[in-house]
Amino acid sequence: MPIMSNQSESEKTNASNVRNDLNLRPAFGSNAQALWFLILVIFALALPKIITNFNLISRADSYDIMSENNGGYIFIKDEIFHQKDDIDILFIGGSVIWNAVDTPQVQKALSEELGRPAKVVTFGFNFNSIDIPYTQLRDLLERRRVRMVVFSIPRLSWTKGPSTLAYKFLRYDENRDVVDGLSPESKISLYACNVLRSPRDLLTLVRQNPSMVSPYSKDLGAFKKAEGMVQNPETFQRFTPPSPVFSSSDLIYSSKTQADFRFTNARLSAHQDHYLNKLIELLKEKKTPLVMLNVPQYSEKHSDKIIELQDWSKRTGTEIPLIGIAPTVLFKGLDEQEVEKLHCDPEHFNKNGNEYFTRTVLPAILEVYEKHATKSF
């Protein structure tokens, strides 16, 4: 008796179709098509070198292609390439310091202190990075003079290689110092970033980037977010409590205040550490003092210590004043809901906190400027 199959005719047909589908057509219809595809790939990979070697894209173009959602790049470009006057204080860094410093407040106080109009600006942007501020500083100091730079390195995660927006902003090999000393892995990553950027550069070559006014210009580059917690504008409530008052010496790291600080000694990624070293070397070369500003984060609100990554003076072997205030001291007298009103998320101050924090640390900023800023060039 023959063995009966349980497989229906339709199932056999489907199985046959699957086998036929697996016999895929060749990727290319001819050797010529394969050759043209190979040429296209080689061209795409070589494009960053071609653009750089023929100077097809300017440094200013790198600022034009950046979105204002990612930083005050239009404002920063204008300050670097169009303004000429000396800068008294430059605040620079990622979103933590960008949201923390009320730049107009600092400029007003410094003008009163100096008896002349002072120039204070902030170069701020989203995402944690040292490669981007180094490049911005290099662009700026090639064209303008700065008396003091204030930087902040937050206690957040770091990318292993180039920062999140490096593929848009850093041109590979545009200046040798961008890549000199990097590990082979970082050089490859940076070049790969520029392969991703190249189509945008080609668009820049065929049409001019539109001229825009930065929304951050009115606050001298600062980002004063009118947002409540979880970055919600609807929950924002204007809140202006009086700031605690301290002498400048209470806010600056010294033998007197060292017990108020706790250094985590956490290491930066090798890539970002490389650019921190280059940033410090650049400022030394330009004889421009560097100051570190510790910005407390909402998640640290119960800490009675100023939590900082490292003792930067010891780490670099050069004097770098460090300004900070312990969160429990900064927020003393405020309840949990009131502290929340100063923030737009767990890492950043909003407009309320921006003004509150700046009023508190302002005496130390003015003191450090008086002692360390370059008085003449």
Three-state DSSP at 250 gives helix
Label residue 173 left, alpha or beta by phi (over 0 means left) and psi (-120 to 50 means alpha). Answer: left
Task: Give me the amino acid identity at 335.
Answer: D
Range of the domain at 335: 43-372
Q: Is 115 exposed, middle or buried (0-12, 13-18, 19+ CB in 10 A)?
A: exposed
Assess contact for 246 and 325: CB atoms under 8 A.
Answer: yes
Question: Mean pLDDT over residues 64-75, rounded?
Answer: 92
Q: Does 265 score more than 70 pLDDT?
A: yes
Assess contact for 100 and 354: CB atoms under 8 A.
Answer: yes
Domain membership of residue 144 (yes or no) is yes
Could you give the angle at the alpha carbon of 314 between the alpha carbons of 106 and 310, nearest 5°?
A: 65
pLDDT in tens, 219-238: 999 999 999 999 999 999 99
Arithmetic mean of pLDDT over the chain: 89
Query: Looking at residue 13, what is its pLDDT?
Result: 57
pLDDT > 90: what percent of the chain? 63
Question: Mean pLDDT over residues 339-360, rounded?
Answer: 97
Q: Which residue has the tokens 């820049």?
A: 204
- Token pair belonging to 324: 């900070």
Query: Looking at residue 23, what is its pLDDT?
Result: 61
Query: Looking at residue 211, what is its pLDDT?
Result: 74
Assess contact for 179 and 190: CB atoms under 8 A.
Answer: yes
Domain membership of residue 38 (yes or no) is no
Give the residues across from 123 on adjacent strands: 92
Question: Mean pLDDT over residues 202-220, rounded?
Answer: 87
**Angle subtended by helix axes 270-285 and 131-141, to nearest 10:** 20
- CA dihedral (144, 150, 153, 154) positive or negative: negative
pLDDT in tens, 131-180: 999 999 999 999 999 999 999 998 888 888 888 888 788 876 666 667 77
Query: Looking at residue 11, what is its pLDDT?
Result: 60
Q: Does 213 score more than 60 pLDDT?
A: yes
Query: Looking at residue 239, what is its pLDDT?
Result: 97
Highest mean pLDDT among 36-45, 186-195, 284-293: 284-293
Q: Does 1 score more than 50 pLDDT?
A: no
Of the listed ranges 34-43, 202-211, 362-371, the least confidently predicted one is 202-211
Domain membership of residue 5 (yes or no) is no
Nearest to 77 by CA among 189, 208, 211: 211
pLDDT > 70: what percent of the chain? 92
Alpha helices in the chain (DSSP H): 9-22, 31-53, 59-64, 73-81, 95-100, 103-114, 131-141, 166-169, 176-179, 184-206, 270-285, 312-316, 327-330, 336-340, 351-372
d(CA 172, CA 137): 17
Q: How many domains does the chain have?
A: 1
Question: Mean pLDDT over residues 201-224, rounded?
Answer: 88
Assess contact for 272 and 166: CB atoms under 8 A.
Answer: no
Nearest to 296 by CA among 249, 245, 339, 233: 339
pTM of the model: 0.88
pLDDT in tens, 87-131: 999 999 999 999 999 999 999 999 999 999 999 999 999 988 999
Domain membership of residue 85 (yes or no) is yes
Query: Looking at residue 333, what is its pLDDT?
Result: 95
d(CA 348, CA 361): 16
Q: Does 9 score more than 70 pLDDT?
A: no
Domain membership of residue 215 (yes or no) is yes
- Phi, psi torsion values for 142, nearest 5 degrees: -75, -20
Instruction: Residue count of the chain, please give it.
Output: 377
Domain membership of residue 1 (yes or no) is no
Q: What band does 15 get if pLDDT is binned at 50, 70 and 90? A: low
d(CA 204, CA 73): 16
Domain membership of residue 18 (yes or no) is no
Q: What is the DSSP string of 115-176?
A: TS---EEEEEBSS--SHHHHHHHHHHHTT--EEEEEE---SS---SSS-TTHHHHPPTTSSH
pLDDT in tens, 297-345: 899 999 999 999 999 999 888 899 999 999 999 999 999 999 999 999 9
Domain membership of residue 308 (yes or no) is yes
Query: Looking at residue 179, what is its pLDDT?
Result: 75
